[in-house]
Amino acid sequence: MEFNHLFIALLIFIITYAIIVSEKINRTSIALFGATMLLFTKVITQETAIEKIDFNTIGLLIGMMIIVNILRRTGIFGYLAIKAAKAVNGEPWKIIVVFSIFTAISSALLDNVTTILLIVPITLVITDTLESNPIPFVLPLILVSNIGGTATLIGDPPNIMIGSATGLGFVDFIVNLAPVIIVIFTVVIFFFRLKLKNSLSISEEKRADILAMDENLALKDITLLKKSGVVLFLTIVGFIMHQYFDFESATVALIGAALLLLVSKVDPEEVFLEIEWPTIFFFTALFILVGGLEAVGVIDFLAEKMLDITNGNIFWMVILVLWGSAIASAFLDNIPFVATMIPLIKSMEAMSTFSITPLWWALALGACLGGNGTLVGASANVIVSGMLEKHGNKLSFFKYMKVGFPIMIVSIMISTVYLIIFFI
């Protein structure tokens, strides 16, 4: 009976994972089907499946989606982008730099996919006005959105999952990851400076068109902006303080979301329509699938093997997790990968006599920065590629990889040095 459950759980997990990777079927549909098959074959009971769902991750995702959906209605992102473009006199390279800084910070404080959805359309309007090829403007934004998102607990879904599973808080992520992220960000900007140095000239006439844009026209609702700004500020303060008051991060996000829904008077139905429910259900199904593997002992088995391979040496464990996550996340969806790695590392923690905290930072850096490696490595990359194609500027897999992959390798090398110096 035990062996049957082990075999069935492994089979369901491998088939589901392979189909998610192949992208032949919608990832949420196949993940939900796989999760329900675990119930149908009685590998786990419904009660166990529900226990395995990490409601802190789900609550944090939903809470932030609600806040951002209301905030975007104010037009603040368009306002700030036009103001920034005018502040640098419409000079293309400076626009890239200020938009990159804005994207990195915004990705860290909201999340990287949302930020890309807000900033790339504005960038395309700017490049249309400049009559410039949008790819040199948009490509750095994709990369820095994934880099900026790595710096905080809420910036990228892998970090949300890691934070929720480990109890590491918003401040822990900033203190431990933000320094290396600032270094990587600087290196990436320097790389683009060298690459784009002589290719960004525009006419005075086009520059004047940028300066003629009116940022105030982008603002839609000042009252809503004030309310959303205050609630977002309080939510971020809440994230900073949540460990001191013993609140889960999801509690903070959901309080912020509920407060904003209440004071903004925006129709909740309209807001809920904009929540990315397929992503939420994808997470839910993955927690059940990985929970199935845990229940039959596969995760413990893999953890033992990993300890054997690395001889229980923390240095090799960090290297293996960091580089393994980066390479895997460059080609696979990093969400199922991290969902599998979390119980694995937890299991290793239970079997080890030393602190494995560096492994969590290695996982966060590897999984988030690895997404920059290829066009399919992160949701932000896929969305921007779709937007560019619709705009008539196709960004091919290899054209992206020629830039993204070396940047990913350099980022992971910097992370390796950082982890060795400060954590091992």
120 binds another protein (CB under 8 A): yes
How big is the chain, counted in residues?
Answer: 424
Q: How is residue 24 annotated by DSSP? A: S
User: What character string, x for contact with another protein (CB under 8 A) and - otherwise, covers 38-77?
Assistant: -------------------------------------x--
CB of 403 to another protein, least distance (A): 21
**Contact between residue 206 and residue 131 where contact means Cβ atoms under 8 Å apart:** yes
Residue 339 phi, psi dihedral angles, 5° rounding:
-60, -35
Show the tokens assigned to 27: 């990832």
Nearer to another protein, 28 or 416 (CB): 28
Count the residues of the shown chain that bind another protein, applying the rule CB under 8 A.
Answer: 24
In whole angstroms, give the CA distance from residue 57 to residue 157.
Answer: 8
Nearer to another protein, 62 or 290 (CB): 62
Using CB under 8 A, which of 15, 39, 97, 383 touches another protein? 383
**Contact between residue 242 and residue 106 where contact means Cβ atoms under 8 Å apart:** no
272: burial class by Cβ within 10 Å (0-12, 13-18, 19+)?
Answer: middle
- State CA 324 to chain mean position distance: 18
In whole angstroms, give the CA distance from residue 221 to residue 317.
Answer: 51
113 binds another protein (CB under 8 A): yes
386 binds another protein (CB under 8 A): yes
**Contact between residue 361 and residue 419 where contact means Cβ atoms under 8 Å apart:** yes
Q: How is residue 221 annotated by DSSP? A: -
CB of 81 to another protein, least distance (A): 9
Instruction: Tell me which residues in 131-190 interact with another protein (CB under 8 A).
Output: none
CB of 24 to another protein, least distance (A): 16
Using CB under 8 A, which of 218, 321, 348, 376 touches another protein? 218
Show the tokens assigned to 320: 């293996």
Using CB under 8 A, which of 124, 138, 306, 342 touches another protein? 124
Nearer to another protein, 218 or 369 (CB): 218
The residues of the shown chain that bind another protein, judged by CB under 8 A, are: 75, 78, 113, 117-118, 120-122, 124-125, 128, 213-214, 217-218, 267, 269-270, 273, 383, 386-387, 390-391
